[in-house]
Structure 1
């Protein structure tokens, strides 16, 4: 089948027709997301949600509730979320302590000022790098950045450009550039793009052994066309 490139908007429409409309399964409020992110390890929607549910039931998620709880109680609550619960318990208390001491118990107080400064504040929290900050900013409706799922930056790059780079940072940057150019700078369209690319990357367009034969847009994918021709992008 000949390669027929599509716009990012058309790609998203095809993915939504295939997977259906997507909704985030994580809390979108910035503070709640920081807590949810440390509720599971290795971090995934499933592990984080299991730990999050247990933490809500056994301790609570507010800063003072987390600071009041013993390390043992926090660790026990987080065990359902996977490995190293004692490390994650420590990190939750670090987050809660910082929110209490620096932001008066309300992380919304950190969301004022230049966006570059707000980003620096968030990156001081444990385990949060630029992709995580982008996710917080987009779904927390801080600013409609071109966020990309941290474990799926290759998806749109493959479809549009042919092959992801060896450097994660370069691939992530290329994915952001494609979103910036192809998706309106508004919250809903960019959330939709994030969620659909995430679903596609986790279901079919996997980092290793992608299921191209089942993909609804293989005829429009530069990566698939390159496989057929035995060529790949220069690195």
Structure 2
């Protein structure tokens, strides 16, 4: 049987203004939080593989690294269909960058020994697009990003991925780490029964020591990137507003404006 691990993350709600705390150099994560929207597509992809019979999937496991509040994101993940979840939470993880987080996630994946790891192509806060690749590097597995179509034949995955110039079709052997784009599917809505039952599904909470993670490779000590400063982008000049009291005159003004800038 096959096991699929889905990497998920707690992120600030889309309505919350995101800003860096100048005292710590870390993203201010106060306020409402939610499951990263891009990860819901990874969960849906796992469920579709399971339900279609393309893979004989025994279970889908959601994994996250985050503070105690990230439990809510895991509850959302299992309400969407994951069978159980794992939460790595420890003060030693505070300040971890993408490299450190990817290492920690990879250690959790090793404990589960899955056949396939799925992730959203990016997080709604950091938007590094890199966590899946870092996890794969630590595992020594092949990785693909921006995947919008996934087909299975035995232990071979045929993936279509978005690229700047169009689309790539790539074949990869399991085990592998696949980061899916939001065009791959339309995530389902959890039923009321699933939402109510989410807290009853198995949730394993681990510390860095529990997971056998080297504390020197995570947190502030293990990070490779350090925030130094930030500034607001320069304000843009106000645009020119033309009111259409006289259509012919409005057209003439637009043509004159374009002509002055040699755009026509």
Same fold (TM > 0.5): no
Please, what TM-score do these two structures have when normalized by structure 1? Answer: 0.28
* Larger CA Rg, structure 1 vs 2: 2
Please, what TM-score do these two structures have when normalized by structure 2? Answer: 0.26
Q: By percentage of residues, which structure has more helix?
A: 1
Q: By percentage of residues, which structure has more strand?
A: 2
